[in-house]
Amino acid sequence: MDISNKKIYYSGVNALRLEWPADLSVRYGVLINFKEGEGNTNEVKYEVRVTRLRPGKTGEPLFQINRISDVFINEIPPDLIADKLAYALGKVFYPLVIAVDHNGGFQSIYNHDEILKRWQLVKKNVLDNFDGCLVENYVSRMEKQLSNLDQIQQAFLNDWLIQTFFKPLYKEYGQHRTAESVYKFPIAKDFHVEGYITEEKLSGQTNSFGAVELLHNGIIKPLEDELFIAHRHTGDYVGNYFLHPKNKRILSVVSDFSYRSQEESRVKIRITVIPEDGLEFDHDFELESNVKGLPVTEMVMIDGQSPRKGFWNRLLNK
């Protein structure tokens, strides 16, 4: 469906509420670009399927994440032994079920018991296909870490997909459609850095291709420490979230990060929906209500005219 010739204006309450139905599964492509100092750039690419599950035992929102493709590093599968080993062992985590808070922010790993059950088969496959003392030591360390849920959850604080996709986006943004939060991302690992002070700006109308747009602008916030020299740790963050106009699930994330200490690190991440076969990405954008004055989960469509463009053209050439 083409709604690129329509705009939707939010009514009274400036809020985002996630209405992703239980059991709805969405496929995403993930592209992450890393650059350290003046060194080479490395690119990681893979696909995942994200499914909204029914609430957990205590009512917590749950999502399942499953990798559905190989992981490509600079357009090829892992070729170094260490990379192959890490990739093979990492399969134990998927499908991964996580709990999020009611604003959509990552909280915890929910299916730790299932991960432990999968471990024996993954371990056997690795030992059957890799040889050497290094492999046995790696497997032994992995086994100890898996038994400790806190260590696993700490490890996923460094997972770019989870730490970008599952942020607390779903909340009220006030009269001026703005909010402010401090967000931590894997690029800033220094203990002296609290995160990025981030201004969050919710658009007042859908953009040119019919999506709700949320813009983040952040700068590094150092911890207060008398021995810490603030100017040595700087950086900025710009993130664009494009959301489905009806259920507010993520259609795409386009984010850039920088962090400067001894040298500069940069990360660019792109996460975008991959439509199911035969469907356009906006096939279900059509709204069921034209009633003004409803909460932000309902919207009014205003006709206009603009030529239809492809998804990436509409995304990157707003």
pLDDT digits (tens, 9 = 90+) for 19-32: 999 999 999 999 99
Same domain, 32 and 151: yes
Count of structural domains, the chain: 2
∠ Cα 182 185 53 (to 5°): 95
The model's confidence at residue 225, banded by pLDDT at 50, 70 and 90, is low
The model's confidence at residue 307, banded by pLDDT at 50, 70 and 90, is very low
Same domain, 174 and 310: yes
Number of C-beta neighbours around residue 259 at 10 A: 23
Nearest one of 179, 178, 113 to 146, comparing CA atoms:
113
Tell me how far apart the alpha carbons of residues 62 and 53 are, in angstroms, rounded to a whole number.
5
- Counting runs of H as helices and runs of E as strands, what totals does the chain give? 6, 14
Tell me how far apart the alpha carbons of residues 24 and 53 are, in angstroms, rounded to a whole number.
8
pTM of the model: 0.85
Same domain, 108 and 183: no
Where among 117, 149, 168 does a domain terminate?
168
Same domain, 88 and 174: no
Mean pLDDT for the stretch of residues 189-202: 86
Structure-token pair, residue 160? 């770019």
Tell me how far apart the alpha carbons of residues 298 and 80 are, in angstroms, rounded to a whole number.
51
Mean pLDDT for the stretch of residues 258-286: 87
Q: Is the pLDDT of residue 204 over 90?
A: no
Tell me how far apart the alpha carbons of residues 16 and 271 are, in angstroms, rounded to a whole number.
20
Domain membership of residue 75 as a residue range:
22-168
Same domain, 129 and 192: no
Same domain, 160 and 183: no
Q: What's the pLDDT score for residue 36?
A: 87
At 90, phi and psi to the nearest 5? Answer: -65, -15
Mean pLDDT for the stretch of residues 176-191: 88
Structure-token pair, residue 151? 């260590």
Same domain, 177 and 191: yes
Where among 135, 168, 201 does a domain terminate?
168
Tell me how far apart the alpha carbons of residues 281 and 231 are, in angstroms, rounded to a whole number.
44
More confident call, 306 vs 114: 114
Same domain, 36 and 113: yes
Same domain, 148 and 26: yes
Q: What's the pLDDT score for residue 229?
A: 55
Q: Is the pLDDT of residue 289 over 60?
A: no
Same domain, 237 and 282: yes
Where among 148, 168, 188 does a domain terminate?
168
How far from 172 is each of 18, 60, 141, CA to CA, in Å? 12, 20, 44
Same domain, 3 and 27: no
Q: What's the pLDDT score for residue 168?
A: 96
Specify the DSSP element, H or E, that contains 107.
strand 106-109
Q: Is the pLDDT of residue 41 over 50?
A: yes
